[in-house]
Chains A and B, each alone.
Chain A
Amino acid sequence: MQRIGVFVCWCGSNIAGTVDVKAVAEALKSEPGVVYSTDYQYMCSQAGQDLIVQAVKDNNLTGLVICSCSPRMHEATFRKTAATAGLNPYMVEIANIREQCSWVHKEMPIGTEKAIILGKAAVAKVNLNTPLTPGESPVTKRALVIGGGIAGIQTALDIADAGFPVDIVETKPTIGGKMAQLDKTFPTLDCAACILTPKMVDVAQHEKIRIFSYSEVAEVKGFVGNFDVTIKKKARFVDETKCTGCGDCVDKCPMKKNPNEFNMGMDNRPAIYIPFAQAVPKVATIDAGACTMLKKGKCGLCSKVCGAGAIDYTQKDEFISEKYGAIVVATGFNVISMDKFDEYAYNQSKDVITSLEFERLTNAAGPTAGKLLRPSDGKHPHKIVFVQCVGSRCENCAEKGKEYCSKICCMYTAKHAMLTRDKYPDTDVTVFYIDVRTPGKNFDEFYRRAVEEFGVKYVKGMVGKIVPEGEVLKVQASDLINNKQMHIDADLVVLAAAIEPDKSARPLATMLTASMDTNDFFTEAHPKLRPVESPTAGVFLSGACQGPKDIPETVSQAGAAASKVIGLLCKDKLLGNPCIAGSNELMCNGCSSCERVCPYGAITYLDKEFRMPDRTTKIRRVASVNPAVCQGCGACTVACPSGAMDLRGFANDQIMAEVDAICK
């Protein structure tokens, strides 16, 4: 028989305001097994915990019921208290009389009645509790970072600097991501390449970091501390170990007319290419869809000119298996397609461009060598219109754009407008906006400089229609402050297109069993208190895959994710959750129902010998749970037709006892 102590918390007035805590303590005193019952103002405080420890000693308690807040809040706290008092931590049950009782009821009698019922249920369960001991699993001291943009680079560097090996998997032929495409960065206007490329070199030279470029994650198995990952290294038809990045093959390749992804398709690249001068790894890649040698078996020029003999037309996709203790997702963002925004004539005129295209147009390494020239005719534009929120904050138009604010557009538009006025004072610049949102260190000052010092015209209102007519773009917009329609003949229109998570994020989330929101951004474990962890143990989030972010924010989050990974990899062993499933082999009939519903692949079958009553032996197929893989979801216990499968800590008889107590 258990000796149970009941501890009813007031939580100040949070509980005591709508629950008569003294009445609850009194009522539970007469429940079976209860030998001690009391109430206290803040049970989670040091004094409250001391009270519990003392009560255990004084009354030789074997089980505890804490009537307080949600177990999500303080279950761990009270389990530690129990351990301090010399009890098994799993002899504690929480009756949630705050979130599920006092907060949702207004009248004292109803709240009190419900609190008593919840307390009775917890007492009934503790009567059947047994001590549980968590299992241990080892930690593979290696991290995987998926995505090689600034988020992935920073996370990898921070983890590697702490001494742990890191692998970066990047789908593109080079790391660097979106930041490598940018010209200047707000609000300080330092050149993106100047601050990024040294970091890319650091990654390449770091003895603890391996880069898998032009690669994808193909499969993820396992669990925190013990992930088994298969990486698909796509065939680039160039031997990375031999290629020196000299570029002779690039110059000689006759198939020169392929849209250059790095310059947003505004110029062309050959079929064999190095994305940009500072690419890491600086290795050529053959675009299989464009290469005549790979398509028709004719050409082979690159192979002939390659002094290092690095070209290999027979290269195949390669699959690499590796173990990791932690995985960081840093898959980043993309600009949304402008196909559904034909009112802005993006598909009708070359002179309507997105902001990322504008970034390449002003970049010294871009298609115009940094000169701001119109894509249609190469003339210098004298009148530029910027349109903010194209596809962002798009209420009730989910089929077109996004409901959220893309966050970075106000600042980069101010940057583009300011830099244009600075470099080309003869150019008239107008920005249309819904709101200008500039919260951030030195952000609002930056925006005001664009307006006050550089004479950028900001108009509150949206552009309704852009009509290409001859050489000009006729922009029709509303000026909300002056309450009038505006008609501007522009030479160039720049659309601040909304950003969305990279398309690779959704299948990756499925592989990782990591959750996502409706916009395909990864969900954090807690929006305020655990912002860089995914709810899936061992999976961490870095950068824009979790939500729109600028560079400073991305780098902070990347560092935070790295510190969480380091914290995990520092441990030699992880304590598991003891509340896992177990099969009663005598009752199991080997039907496979549990195996089919297990989302973690934790159940296997064994052929086991059993002694029968007539002293013969019989071999029967029975279920066996891998304690390291089981997450304790309980799906198998529900599916089991013979009642052989049970969840420790949430056993069928415990749950039924709780239900009986509630219905009594």
Chain B
Amino acid sequence: MKMSYFPGCTLKNKAKDLDEYARKSAEVLGITLEEIENWQCCGGVFTTSKDEIATKLSSVRALMDAKSKEQPLVSVCSACHNVIKQTNHAMRNDSEFADKVNRYMSENEPYNGETEVLHYLEMLRDKVGFDSLKEKVVNPLKGKKIGAYYGCLLLRPNSVMAMDDPENPTIMEELIKAIGATPVVYGMRNECCGGYVSVESPELAKKKSDAVVANAKAQGADMIITACPLCRYNLIKNGADIPVVYFTELLAQALGVKEAENE
């Protein structure tokens, strides 16, 4: 199965692991991720101002590209996925916005949100299936107690993202079980890490990050996984004393496609 893939800027720099292991694991699971040509930065944040279209055009281009190939559009980074999914939702439901964008794009055929937008985790759950993923695991991560960290962008706004219950998500816990480890459920797993506040007010961001790590540890986690480069950055920078890794890294390890020296 082939799917269009939007990696995003961070995955080409700081978060190369997230990208690399995502592609390798997908191959093992029978999915080829085809990187969209000439993709541009997603803009980082979905602006809520209604008359603003410039920052959303890169998402629209990626979505149109996937539409032309009749493929779903997959991304891994929480922020990219959030922007693309929200933009697609706006193209589908906000006719005024869609009209403005389509006039600007002046393509032959207008785009109205036809492309299916998937987060990599949704791809695993809905296209691959955690049961068949489990069958492909060659190196089960037995004994690892892992706390899934969702952050905020992956799940919210729930009416648009519609990925999982925003107050009690289970998708990453299911993944952890599928790769043979033990999920640790902790209350702070869907709280904000501090996000971009780390630029403006590092103390506040530290408070937020510390609360997440402390809660995960108190509930027995010895490792945290995340899908978001910014979450990982904040948790590590603010002194997390347990490993914080991308979920794709553990997935690749379990599927046997991660080099031994990285372990």
Q: How far is the CB of B82 from chain A (nearest CB, A)?
A: 20
A466 and B219 alpha carbons, distance in the complex (Å): 14
**Are A342 and B218 neighbours in the complex by a CB distance under 8 Å?**
no
Among A343, A465, A467, A468, the most chain B Cβ lie within 10 Å of the Cβ of: A467
CB nearest to B188 among chain A residues: A467
A459-495, CB < 8 A from B: 465-470, 474
**A: interface residue count bin:** 10 to 19
Residues of B within 8 A of A466 (CB): 187
Q: Are B167 and A343 in contact (CB under 8 A)?
A: yes
Contacts of A343 in B (CB 8 A): 167
Task: Count contacts on B: residues with CB < 8 A to the other chain.
Answer: 12
List, in ascending order, chain B residues with CB within 8 A of A470's CB: 218-219
The CA of A347 and the CA of B185, in the complex, are separated in Å by: 11
| Cα A468 to Cα B218 with chains together (Å) | 9
Contact A467 B186 (CB under 8 A): yes
Cβ of A584 within 8 Å of any chain B Cβ, yes or no, is no
How far is B187's CA from A341's CA once the two chains are assembled, in angstroms?
Answer: 13
Instruction: Establish whether residues B187 and A467, one from each chain, have CB atoms under 8 Å apart when the complex forms.
Output: yes
Inter-chain CA distance A348–B189, complex, in Å, is: 13
| Chain B residue at minimum C-beta to C-beta distance from A471 | B218
**Is A284 close to B, CB under 8 A?**
no
Contact A469 B218, beta carbon cutoff 8 Å: yes
Known: A345-B187, A348-B185, A348-B187. A469 touches B165 (CB 8 A): no
Smallest beta-carbon distance A548→chain B, Å: 26
Shortest beta-carbon distance, B151 to chain A, in Å? 15
A469, B168: Cβ atoms under 8 Å?
Answer: no
Alpha-carbon gap, A342 to B214, bound state (A): 20
Task: Assess the B191–A465 pair: CB atoms within 8 A.
Answer: yes
Q: 0/1 per residue, A521-538, Cβ < 8 Å to B?
A: 000000000000000000
Interface residue SS majority, chain B: loop
- Taking CB as reference atom, which chain B residue is nearest A344? B167
Q: Contact: A342 with B167, CB < 8 Å?
A: yes
Do A468 and B168 contact each other (CB < 8 Å), given the known contacts A345-B187, A348-B185? no
- B213–chain A nearest beta-carbon distance, Å: 11
Question: Which of the listed residues B165, B186, B187, B219 has the most CB atoms from chain A within 10 Å of its own CB?
Answer: B187
A343 closest partner in B (C-beta): B167
Q: How far is the CB of A551 from chain B (nearest CB, A)?
A: 34
The 8 A CB mask of B61-76 against A (1 = contact, 0 = none) is 0000000000000000
Q: Report the separation of the CA atoms of residues A565 and B165 in the bound assembly, to the nearest whole angstrom.
A: 49
Q: Interface readout for A332-345 with B: 1 if CB under 8 Å, 0 if not?
A: 00000000011101
What is the CB-to-nearest-CB distance from A62 to chain B, in angstroms, rounded to a whole number? 65
B179 to chain A: closest CB distance in Å?
23
> In angstroms, how far is the closest chain B Cβ from the Cβ of A35?
65
B40 CB-CB contact with A under 8 Å: no
Decide: A468 near B219, CB < 8 A? Known: A345-B187, A474-B187.
yes
Q: Is the CB of B168 within 8 A of A342?
A: yes
Q: Tell whether B215 is near chain A: CB-to-CB under 8 Å.
A: yes
Q: Given the complex, which residues of A lie within 8 Å of B168, measured CB to CB?
A: 342, 347-348
Say whether B191 contacts A469, CB under 8 Å.
no
A264 vs B117: C-alpha distance when bound (angstroms): 43
Across-interface contacts of B185 in A (CB, < 8 A): 348
Return the chain A residue nearest B220 by Cβ: A470
Which residues of the other chain, B, contact A474 by a CB distance below 8 angstroms? 187, 215
The answer on a CB contact under 8 Å between B219 and A469 is yes
Cβ of A644 to closest chain B Cβ, rounded Å: 53
Least Cβ–Cβ distance between B84 and chain A, in angstroms: 26
What is the CA–CA distance of A92 and B154 in the complex, to the nearest angstrom? Answer: 70
Question: Which residues of chain A come closer than 8 Å to B188, judged between CB atoms?
Answer: 467
- How long is the Cα–Cα vector from A470 to B185 in the complex, in angstroms? 12
- Interface flags for B178-195 (1: CB within 8 Å of A; 0: not) read 000000011110010000
Chain B positions within 8 Å of A342 at CB level: 165, 167-168
B235 → chain A closest CB, angstroms: 16
Report the Cα distance A474→B218, complex, angstroms.
12
Residues of the B chain whose Cβ atoms lie less than 8 Å from the Cβ of A465: 187, 191
Binary B-proximity of A311-329 (CB < 8 A = 1, otherwise 0): 0000000000000000000
Instruction: State how many angstroms separate the Cβ of B183 from the closest Cβ of chain A.
Output: 13
**A343 to B187 alpha-carbon distance, docked (Å):** 8
Q: Residue of B at shortest CB range from A470?
A: B218
Q: List chain B positions with a Cβ less than 8 A from chain A.
A: 165, 167-168, 185-188, 191, 214-215, 218-219
**Selected A-B contacts with CB under 8 Å, 27 pairs:** A341-B167, A342-B165, A342-B167, A342-B168, A343-B167, A345-B187, A347-B168, A348-B168, A348-B185, A348-B187, A465-B187, A465-B191, A466-B187, A467-B186, A467-B187, A467-B188, A467-B215, A468-B186, A468-B187, A469-B186, A469-B187, A469-B214, A469-B218, A469-B219, A470-B218, A474-B187, A474-B215
Please provide the 8 A-B residue pairs with the shortest distance between their CB atoms, ordered closest to farther. A467-B187, A342-B167, A342-B168, A469-B218, A470-B218, A343-B167, A469-B215, A467-B188
Q: A341-B167, A467-B187 are in contact. List 19 more A-B contacts (CB 8 A).
A: A343-B167, A345-B187, A348-B168, A348-B185, A465-B187, A465-B191, A466-B187, A467-B188, A467-B215, A468-B187, A468-B219, A469-B187, A469-B214, A469-B218, A469-B219, A470-B218, A470-B219, A474-B187, A474-B215
